[in-house]
Structure 1
Amino acid sequence: MDNHISQLHHNHPLDLVYLQQPNHKNENDHEDEDEDEEKDEDEFVEEDYHGPQCNMCNEQIYSFHLCYYKCKSCNYSSHKFCEELPTQQNHPSHPSHNLTLYPSSKLHNEFMCFVCTLKWKNVYFYFCGICNEAMDIICATMSEQKIKHPSHGHQLGRMPGPKVSSCLACSNKHEGVFFQCTACPGFLISLDCALLPTKLLIQNHTNGNFTHSHPLTLSYSFSYSDIKAKFCPCCRVCDLGFYSHLWVYKCEKCLYYAHVDCATSKREPFMSIFQLASLGKTYKNFKDDEHLNLLRLPFHDEGDNLVKHHISNQKEFISTQLNGETLNHFGHQHPLILFDKQTSYGKKVISLHDPMKRMQLLCDGCVKPIMSVPFYICRHYVDGICCFVLHEWCAKLPLEVQDYAGHHKHTLFLLPKVPYMFFGVYDCDICGLPSNGFAYGCTMCNFYIDINCAFIPKEITHDAHPDHLLSRVKCSKMPKMVCNACQYLMVRKLGFHCVSCNFNIHVECALLLPKVINHKCDKHPLSLRYHPAENHISEYFCEICEDEFNPWRWFYHCTTCAQSMHAACAPLILQHEQATYADDDTCVYKFLNVKFGGTLEIKEHSHQLAFVQGLESDGECNECQQMLQYEMIFKCFECKFALHYECVSSSDSRCSSSP
């Protein structure tokens, strides 16, 4: 501060003080202060680069003013352009007479400025004694109030008077001071946006409603190519999209983005009625004692499912069977043996479902993994004649469902196999997924649903939207609504919806994606993620299919190994090199309800064909010459011959099947 000035506006010498700018060092900084940069980047302290209030105009001295005058002897400060005003001048706004500068003490009452017509008090002013008119010091210095803002390459000039206008930084309307480019009249930003900090912690501005552990950095654009490369992210506060020319706060360590107004909570409260509900902290809107059997999703692992939850809550579900006892089930032609405390039958060991060892054991009823005892198995399993297995709860299913939400016309009856469907495969009329497990159906209407979809509760909660009830709704009542899991429209029969917020989810995305899964590709359990993981700024590639994927759709992730998988790829128990994912309109593996296996004989081929999912290596269908990958197929393991399921089923008179 070696610049000194003595002015008539103040009795003491004044020093010119240069304001410290973000990301710049002072000239007096020592080299040894470089070690500060090595501190933990997460230790963030928001700094104030602004000066005090100007004693001449009573406005704040901001960082973009670059410097100001300060008195060491008393508490006096002033803008450089205010302090350097002449005591007399001929102003363009009043060319007829000279104006004289007076301190605020010369007027005891407020005055009206003849330029901006605003009333002022306690500010310096210019006065014309001939016309008896006054001009406030802000209007007098308007032409000198030029700022240099990092968002634009040219100087910005202050516009006269308070304005109500849209701001080019945030696109919202602001009232107050605006700055306009002296070379590009279209560039107009509000004082509010001009003062936005280059770094902030979002929780300091949102009362904890939206939290992120890392500082967010202000960016003056979000290019379209960058938006597209990041899979068109939405604001993590309001869930709306971004425009490339608007400012945005972004995390340098994570895929976390927020609008400037959202990050600083500057949206006017009354605007909330015109906006979609935000994604912030939710407050519990129900009482636990009023929802005793409330289904809390996602299920913890693949061993849990909706049928188990529903049947276990029934009072009549009390196991009276003992290990080794038999059950004659109407859905299978052979007696079933109960395995209770052991997993072997005679000399044969029965392996439970274990993705880590690529052991697959799927229930023929719900087509979900059998990961624990007790369960039922066909007595001919040991002879290799029949591989029928059944969860204990699937063996206790009710024979009919009345007043079903998606089909009120008739009673639905339990069907071990849907009649007239080739190889027992049907498409569920609720979730749309194919299945060859048990079904509930109405043969008069050709309406069939898998047994999981038969027990969809009226209300659930989900960790992706905690503390709010999600109600079962018909998707036809939610036009243009998007599922928060897969980001596709809610076009199926039933879904879940939060009546308080803009949160929707397909029934299959809610019910069929467990919280934790195990997979051979990672030695740690993988967790279901609803947003991109923290400390992961790079692209996301699926460890199964090796394709890049959109992290704004739900996926599975291991934080320890930083490995990720499509939610649709994660359940597969196949070799790593066998890519099996198809980018469908859901996060759920499309054959999750299909139990592959069994053989087929056709007249034009001498070998038996196995019912499997097509891989890239299977090539083309021998009938339609279309690719077999990602489809249900019948494949010969003795020669390179395979057919689509549809190609075989369209002329099923030529074949016979066996379990």
Structure 2
Amino acid sequence: MDSSIAAMDPLRAFRHEHPLNLVHLPQQLHHKNENADDEDEDEVEDEVEFVEEDRQCNLCKEQIWSFHLCYYSCKTCNYSLHKFCAELTEILQNHPLHPGHKLYHIYSRFYEFKCQVCNLMQKSVSMYFCGTCDFRMDIICATLLEQKINHHSHPHQLERMSCPIVSSCVACGNKHEGVFFHCTTCPRFLINLECALLPTKLLIQNHTDGTFTHSHPLTLAYSFPYSEYQAKYYPSCRVCGGSLYSHLWIYKCDKCLYYVHVDCATSKKEPFMSIFQTTSLGKTNKNFKEDEHLNLLHCPFHDEGDNLLKRYMSNQHELIGDSKQHEGEMLTHASHQHPLVLFDKQTPAGVSLHDPMKRSQLLCDGCVKPIMTVPFYVCCQYDDEQYCFVLHEWCAKLPAEVQEYVGHPEHTLFLLTKIPGKFFGVFECAVCELPSNGFSYGCTICNFYVDINCAFIPKEITHDAHPNHLLSIMKPSDTQSEEFCKACGYSVYYGRNLVYHCSSCNFNIHVECALLLPRVIKHKLDKHPLNLRYEPAENHISEYFCEICEDKLIPWQWFYHCTICAQSMHAACVPLILQCEQNTYADNHKCVYEFLNVKFGGTLEIKDHSHHLAFVQGLESDGMCSKCHRRLQYKMIFKCLECEFALDFKCASSSVN
């Protein structure tokens, strides 16, 4: 780092045989505008990573820092002095900390003494001595009144405190031990030396050994105004996951919504505070052995065609069987009145595989998940103009019962193609709390029912959102950590039965968020695959909003994003492949599409209307329920395709013949 030597007469300091030259220290450039335009980015890059030189004063043995502005250096030998140390004299008269007596400079490498100003034992440091009253003062305290700094964070000059202390710092909000600077005008303004030396720009990976990486330099901000914090959807620290506060300093990249505490960005947490620290969110060391967790499920699933039930049944050879079924073979299944035909090589005429890009939807009547490949079973009497009954091959061969289920271990759960007494077969799953009209496993004694995907949830998984750590299933009341789901941001206690929890960290995911959101999904509004994101995207300059519902999108909640087109979508909006109207999301508190486990279609006859009613999702254009006069949008409804008559699900259930 270049330093400029002042063109002036050299100083002849006491106790050094050579003349000393004044050297001006390079200063950190104060950032102009934290939201600078892109054309200034190259200029900003030049300011990154201001590094303090390791230079020590030979007299007081303390570091020479950039805020000292200048120092004296010897060209002949490796000898440097603070400017205020170099300008000291052998005898101090009427010093403010010991007025009335002369103080004499004494230096002895092996002499140990106690400074009567800071009360610290010193060795190998110069001191001033008063022979009249045996007063001793180290050279650091002798220059204390000269050690003042001007800092960008505060309008007044800051003075160094007389001795190292343990205190809270107004910059980072944490307790630190060591040297502090304070403002005599504003008594509460007290910053530690390390915070005073923080660079205005830094690359976080250089300070955290690559545990946290970000492509852009982070800018030091001396506050985070609440209005800005609110506009950015209340972000958390990207290192520790903790809260950010308006009065504390932070490092930030507004372009990527990347915000961190200053201590987290520079890994300067005090050792004695480690017992209070939360585990970080960066690169984690694996806390399990693969060979001790065979068949461990890694989430999220790759795409819509992959799911928990498919994975489970593929490992059950006694259920699926090693012998391959053949095209055209018939199956009689308890769920349907007609025989089912296996299609193993091609799809039947009039039936198209599930393809969001072609606006083609084909859902299994068992698991209500997309059928994207053969083989699958179709009703032998299907009609392409009516409701088509189809089953995945594995859904047609489910086990009859599930024993010792993790969420209901006291009773065996039995396979039910329809739950007795449930209107149109719709029930609410006890685990994911989503409505479903597919197959279920249930305990009729306790009225406990789960959809067939949730019936096979594993006790342990791993997830890309929290790599290398095991997530174990448990009841929310058993967690001892942060009480919010990392996916949707809502409490894990809110009506939940089971969550996935990391015992090492403050990390929880609702079961449905972990298992029902695939890594990649397709939608007709974007020609590219959309990737599941767990945090804001880098280099995303524009504001976030959902391309489907055109409503705001909070990038701290999981969402789908196309980096090529810079388009984002709510995770709960993406599955709507056949209808795309505005305001589909409606501030749904789930990341998961509410009707993900409902297969719409089929008709209903009621006593008060002459036409058949179709089972569909309510749109804004459907208006109000003809019976209760409540809005039908975002609900399961039955509507007449010949007139404007429509009923919500509850009203329709009370109107059947």
TM-score bin, normalised by smaller chain: over 0.9
Aligned match for 1:562, one of 556, 561, 566: 566
Give matches, 1:483-494, under 5 Å. 483-491=485-493, 492-494=496-498
Match of 1:213 in 2: 215
For 1:527 and 1:585, the matched residues in 2 are separated by: 21
| Aligned equivalent of 1:57, options 56, 60, 75 | 60
Cα distance in 1 for residues equivalent to 2:491 and 2:167: 36
User: Is 1:169 the counterpart of 2:174 in the alignment?
Assistant: no
Deviations 1:290-331 (A, max 9, x none): 333221111111011111111111022125421112111011
Is this contact kept in 2: 1:65–1:147, CA < 8 A?
Answer: yes
Aligned with residue 608 of structure 1, among 612, 627, 631: 612
**Are 1:599 and 1:609, in contact at CA under 8 Å, matched by a contact in 2?**
yes
Counterparts of 2:289 and 2:180 in 1: how far apart (Å)? 49
CA distance in 2 between partners of 1:623 and 1:18 (Å): 83
Match of 1:404 in 2: 405
Q: State the AA in 2 paired with 1:55.
A: N
CA contact under 8 A between 2:64 and 2:71: conserved in structure 1? Answer: yes
Q: Is the 8 A contact 2:627 2:647 kept in 1?
A: yes
Instruction: Tell me how far apart the structure 1 counterparts of residues 158 and 183 of structure 2 sit (CA, whole Å).
Output: 4
Shift of 1:92: 2.6
Segments of structure 2 that go 5 or more residues without pairing to the other structure are 1-5, 32-38
CA distance in 2, matches of 1:83, 1:511: 68
* Residue 365 (structure 1) aligned with residue 371 (structure 2): no
TM-score by structure 2 length?
0.92
1:642 aligns with 2:643: no
Shift of residue 400, structure 1, vs aligned partner: 1.4
Matched, 1:495 2:499: yes
Quickly say closer, same or farther: Cα 1:94–1:286, change in 2 above 3 A.
closer
Moved more, 621-630 or 569-578: 569-578
> How far does the alpha carbon of each residue in 1:413-470 deviate from its partner, in whole angstroms, 9 at most, with x for none?
1111111111111111111100001111122221111001111112111111112221
Q: Is the 8 A contact 1:482 1:488 kept in 2?
A: yes
How does 1:31-430 map onto structure 2 within 5 Å?
39=42, 46-50=49-53, 52-86=55-89, 87-100=91-104, 102=105, 104=107, 108-316=110-318, 317-318=320-321, 320-344=324-348, 348-382=349-383, 384=385, 386-430=387-431
Counterpart of 2:337, as a letter, is Q
Contact 2:443–2:449 (CA under 8 A) maintained in structure 1: yes
| Contact 2:106/2:129 (8 A) holds in 1 | no
- In structure 2, the CA distance between the partners of 1:563 and 1:42, relative to structure 1 (3 Å rule), is farther
The AA in structure 2 aligned to 1:452 is N
Call closer, same or farther: CA 1:309–1:43 in 2, change over 3 Å: farther
Contact 1:44–1:215 (8 Å) recurs in 2: no
Range 86-95 or range 452-461, more displaced = 86-95
Among candidates 598, 619, 626, match of residue 623 of structure 2: 619
Counterpart check, 1:515 vs 2:532: no
SS in 1 for 2:230: helix
Q: Is the 8 A contact 1:461 1:470 kept in 2?
A: yes
CA deviation map 1:303-362 (0-9, x unaligned): 111111111110221254211121110110011111110112xxx332100000110000
Give yes or no for contact 2:30–2:200 (8 Å, CA) kept in 1: no
Is residue 19–residue 50 contact of structure 1 (8 Å, CA) maintained in 2? Answer: no
Partner of 1:32: none
- Aligned to 1:484, the other structure's residue is in SS state coil
Q: How many residues align?
A: 638
Residue 360 of structure 2 contacts residue 578 of structure 2 at CA under 8 Å; is this kept in 1? no
Of 5, 10, 14, the residue aligned with 2:20 is: 14
Query: Structure 1, residues 477-524: CA drift from partner, whole Å, max 9, x if none?
Result: 237622111111223112211222222111111110001001111111
Alpha-carbon distance in structure 2 between the residues aligned to 1:161 and 1:402: 68
What one-letter code is carried by the residue in structure 2 that aligns with 1:192? Answer: E
Kept in 1: contact 2:50–2:201 (CA 8 A):
no
Cα–Cα, structure 1 residues 517 and 436, in superposed 2: closer, same or farther, change >3 Å? same
The CA deviation at 1:222 is: 1.1
Structure 2: distance between partners of 1:48 and 1:127 = 37
Post-superposition Cα deviations, 1:39-65, rounded to whole Å, max 9, x if no partner, equal 597688633255732222221111111
CA distance in 1, matches of 2:535, 2:440: 34
The letter of the residue matching 1:471 is S
**8 Å contact 1:255–1:537 — kept in the other structure?**
no
2:536 aligned to which of 532, 537, 562 = 532
Task: Tell whether the 8 Å contact from 1:299 to 1:514 is kept in structure 2 after alignment.
Answer: yes
Matches of 1:458 and 1:40, distance apart in 2: 52
Distance 2:513 2:54 in 1: 54
Give the CA deviation at 1:146: 1.2
Q: Cα–Cα, structure 1 residues 38 and 183, in superposed 2: closer, same or farther, change >3 Å?
A: closer
The answer (yes or no) to whether the contact 2:361–2:578 under 8 Å persists in 1 is no
Whether the 8 Å CA contact 1:113–1:119 is kept in 2: the answer is yes
Taking a change above 3 Å as real, the CA distance of residues 189 and 621 of structure 1, as seen in their structure-2 partners, is: same
Aligned sequence identity (%): 68
With 61-70 and 428-437 compared, the bigger mean Cα shift is at 61-70
The one-letter code of the counterpart of 2:11 is S
Among 3, 21, 42, the residue aligned to 2:8: 3
Contact 1:19 1:51 in 2 (8 A): no
Query: Is the Cα contact below 8 Å between 1:104 and 1:121 reproduced in 2?
Result: no
- Contact 1:339/1:374 (8 A) holds in 2: yes
Q: Who is 2:36 aligned against?
A: none
Superimposed CA distance per residue, residues 9-60 of structure 1 (whole angstroms, 9 cap, x where no aligned partner): 24444333222112279xxxxxxxxxx9775976886332557322222211
- For the residues of structure 1 that align with 2:622 and 2:22, how far apart are their CA atoms? 79
CA distance in 1, matches of 2:643, 2:43: 61
Report the AA paired with residue 445 of structure 1.
Answer: C
Give the AA of the match of 2:237. C
SS in 1 for 2:455: helix
Counterpart CA distance in 2 for 1:383 and 1:484 is 42
For residues 48-104 of structure 1, the C-alpha deviation after alignment (integer angstroms, 9 at most, x for no partner) is 25573222222111111122222333333222222233443211322231223x262
Hey, what's the Cα distance between the residues in 1 that align with 2:335 and 2:254?
Answer: 57
CA contact (8 A) 1:516 1:528 kept: yes
Contact 1:635–1:641 (CA under 8 A) maintained in structure 2? yes
Structure 1 residue aligned with 2:477? 476
Q: Distance in 1 between matches of 2:563 and 2:405?
A: 41
- CA–CA distance in 1 between the matches of 2:339 and 2:504? 51
Moved more, 226-235 or 596-605: 596-605
| Distance change (3 Å), C-alpha of 1:655 and 1:43 | farther
- Cα distance between partner residues in 2 of 1:399 and 1:120: 80
CA separation of 1:273/1:139 partners in 2, compared to 1, >3 Å: closer, same or farther? closer
Deviations 1:595-632 (A, max 9, x none): 11111223333332211111222222222222211111
Q: Is the alpha carbon distance of 1:494 and 1:200 closer, same or farther for their aligned partners in structure 2, counting shifts above 3 Å?
A: same
Deviations 1:523-563 (A, max 9, x none): 11011111111112442111111111111111111111111
CA contact (8 A) 2:13 2:20 kept: no
What secondary structure sits across from 1:377 in the alignment?
Answer: strand
Counterpart position of 1:542 = 546
When structure 1 is superposed on structure 2, of 560-569 and 197-206 the one drifting more is 197-206
Aligned residue identity for 1:136: D
| 1:646 match: secondary structure | helix
Task: Look up the SS of the partner of 1:350 in the other structure.
Answer: coil
2-side partners of 1:295 and 1:158: how far apart?
57
Find the aligned partners of 1:462 and 1:571 in 2 and give their Cα distance. Answer: 21
- Could you tell me how far apart the structure 2 residues matched to 1:53 and 1:639 are? 88
